[in-house]
Amino acid sequence: MQYLRNCWYMVGWAKDFAVGELAPLVLGNERLVVYRGASGLLAALEDRCPHRLAPLSAGCLEHDNIRCLYHGLKFAPDGRCVQIPGQAAIPATVAARSFPIVEMHSAAWVWMGKKSNADPALIPDFVGIEHPDWQMLPGRMDYNASYTLINANLLDLSHVPYVHRNSFGGGEELNPEAGAAFTMAEPTIETLDRGLRMTTVQKSTPTGALFRNEVGPVTDMWTTNDFLVPGIFLLTMEFFAPGAIDRAGGQRPTETPLHRNFSCQAVTPLTDRTSRYFYAFGPWPQSKMSAETFAKISEIAFAEDKAMINAQQQVIDSAAAVRPKLLHMDKMNSKFDSIMRRLLAADAAEDGAVAHSLTAAVE
């Protein structure tokens, strides 16, 4: 599988990386070790000593440096070898590959592509779990499935009334009409440079069981979600008194909402058939519902997704030649696939240009 390299991948919540601990991980089939040195700064290196290819994650930290415990070579956070026991000269080629890593929005982000392209401004406005506008607790799940299947699930919310009957559906009976409403809704879709923005407007709609006690039986809903490469999902749901959207002339109401909630989610490919899913979901501070309530609901809901997607991957692997039949509800997926193809082609063109320049230099 081809992975987008010139982008930021979430590799963990910032709190997951304690000072002095080595955290090995796999990202897009590549072995990395992430650590927070004594200075408090994060570093990300290829988890491979260039000498005898032992894992650096089996080593130890010395202030901000990492020492391989096979033959004692020591490496700085930028991958330079700074000590070879018993040898004064240090060849420049004896270096561990390093990756740009940034701590932002309560999370750690690694750039897998060309270092000069690693612009922190390309990290989406993930908000994170410490933002004062929201009450959110962090979560994480590991899947035995391709990250592309998780992305596809997040791009198509028509599955909500079916997969999430015991969570976001509030334990309600299966309602095909509700499912049709999700499927046939015509959201406004805006194409961004590195993703999509979908705005869904629902006027005088029955309130789901999860929010009914706080909002009432009928509400106007204004829902916005951004889906950005490589798999970043940002969802804001706002509930207004019935008629608020009409009173605003069809625009987002300026009236005070009855309720607001937000979810930030990131899908990270580990290997071709394993993925890591980070999420947080919670209300605004004025809510009667607590962050803990939202965390429990989201844990149930995302476990429902996980069970379906892991099973889907097994079916796909059992009949690799069978292709899915796409429907109207898949339009967001189709648009996002086009964006990914464009960016992957740009990656490949850049890699080809680098290879050409290296060949020319040799010749």
pLDDT tens-digit readout, 8-22:
999 999 999 999 999
Token duo for residue 171: 């334990």
In 195-330, alpha helices (H): 209-215, 244-247, 291-318
pLDDT at residue 356 greater than cutoff 70: no
Assess if CATH 2.102.10.10 describes domain 8-121: yes
**CATH code for the domain defined by 125-340:** 3.90.380.10
What pLDDT is recorded for position 361? 37
Instruction: Report the predicted TM-score, pTM, of the whole model to 2 decimal places.
Output: 0.92
Q: What is the mean pLDDT of residues 24-40?
A: 98
Find the helix or strand (DSSP H, E) in which 167 lies. Answer: none
Q: What percent of the chain has pLDDT over 90?
A: 84
What pLDDT is recorded for position 355? 42
**Predicted confidence band at 186 (pLDDT cuts at 50, 70, 90)?**
confident
pLDDT at residue 179 greater than cutoff 80: no
Amino acid 250 reads G
pLDDT at residue 128 greater than cutoff 50: yes
Spans of all domains in the chain: 8-121, 125-340
**Predicted confidence band at 168 (pLDDT cuts at 50, 70, 90)?**
confident
d(CA 209, CA 62): 53
Edge to edge, the sheet with strand 101-104 lists 8-13, 107-111, 101-104
> CB atoms < 10 A from the CB of 80, how many?
15
Tens digit of each residue's pLDDT (9 = 90 or more) over 87-104: 999 999 999 999 999 999
Running DSSP on this structure, what letter comes out for residue 19?
A: B
pLDDT at residue 200 greater than cutoff 50: yes
**Predicted confidence band at 350 (pLDDT cuts at 50, 70, 90)?**
confident
**Predicted confidence band at 165 (pLDDT cuts at 50, 70, 90)?**
confident
SS3 335: helix
